[in-house]
Copies of this chain bind each other. A is one copy, B any other.
């Protein structure tokens, strides 16, 4: 199979014949006609991921997020940028193709980023019937124990929270990646918390003047609300991990590996 065939196979499996008129899911490096020797799935094609992919014989990275630091992988501002140039050189030396698989992955029914995360958490039986895989009902537990569970299962050293660590919670929302910014509507995560009577929202990206301020006030006003911030990468990496399992049978003999792009943060 060549790169084009792999891309088509993945999109077909995700969304059938549906095609977006405009999408960020583009080949940002390599040629569509390249014969694929091995595939790596990952949250982000960082420099380390590119090196590791090359070392295990892969020449196609399927990345969920951009490779060149803006939402649409814009290249107007990167000319003569030393970071861009060093990365581009590495990509060329490795003969690597990089395809972004983002919009079609979230468009799949159900959203395959959530499917991977829920599998990693083992929360399949906790999912509440709702149009999106956003709501989970747990046996009542303390917020700090929920944070501990996430730290262990998602391999995190530190978790950032808003609220009282000793509050009990059972109705939990999850908005992964940039979804916790509201998908174009700042109030969306707060309206979801209210309408679904959620105690806790687990978030990818945040801004401090929206949900964070709402939950902070709620806690100060004696309402049972909290948020757990696991970040964009830790909330979405698992969709790409479990992609390796469903992709392998679709590409026959081509080896498929997942590489963890890893949380970008250290906590000092």
Are A71 and B213 in contact, CB atoms less than 8 angstroms apart? no
Are A209 and B65 in contact, CB atoms less than 8 angstroms apart? yes
- The answer to whether the Cβ of A254 comes within 8 Å of any Cβ in the partner chain is no
* 0/1 interface trace, chain A 69-83, chain B, CB 8 Å (1 if under): 111001001100111
Quick one: which of A82, A147, A221 has the most chain B CB within 10 A? Answer: A221
A47 to B222, CA, bound (A): 10
- The residues of B that contact A159 with a CB separation of less than 8 Å are 267-268
- Minimum Cβ distance to chain B for residue A192 (Å): 11
- The residues of B that contact A209 with a CB separation of less than 8 Å are 44, 65-66, 69-71, 178, 232
Partner of A208, one of B211, B232, B266: B232
| Number of copies of this kind of chain in the complex | 2
* 0/1 interface trace, chain A 177-202, chain B, CB 8 Å (1 if under): 01000000011001100100000000
Q: Which residue of B lies closest to A48 (CB)?
A: B220
Given contacts A147-B268, A266-B161, A268-B165, contact A69 B194 (CB under 8 A): no
Quick one: which of A48, A65, A66, A266 has the most chain B CB within 10 A? Answer: A266
- The residues of B that contact A242 with a CB separation of less than 8 Å are none
Q: Nearest 10 pairs between A and B by C-beta?
A: A47-B220, A208-B232, A86-B221, A77-B187, A69-B214, A216-B264, A70-B186, A83-B218, A147-B268, A160-B265
Which A residues are within 8 Å of any B CB, using their own CB? Answer: 44, 46-48, 65-66, 69-71, 74, 77-78, 81-83, 86-87, 90, 144, 147-148, 151, 158-162, 165, 178, 186-187, 190-191, 194, 205, 207-214, 216-218, 220-223, 225, 229, 231-233, 264-268
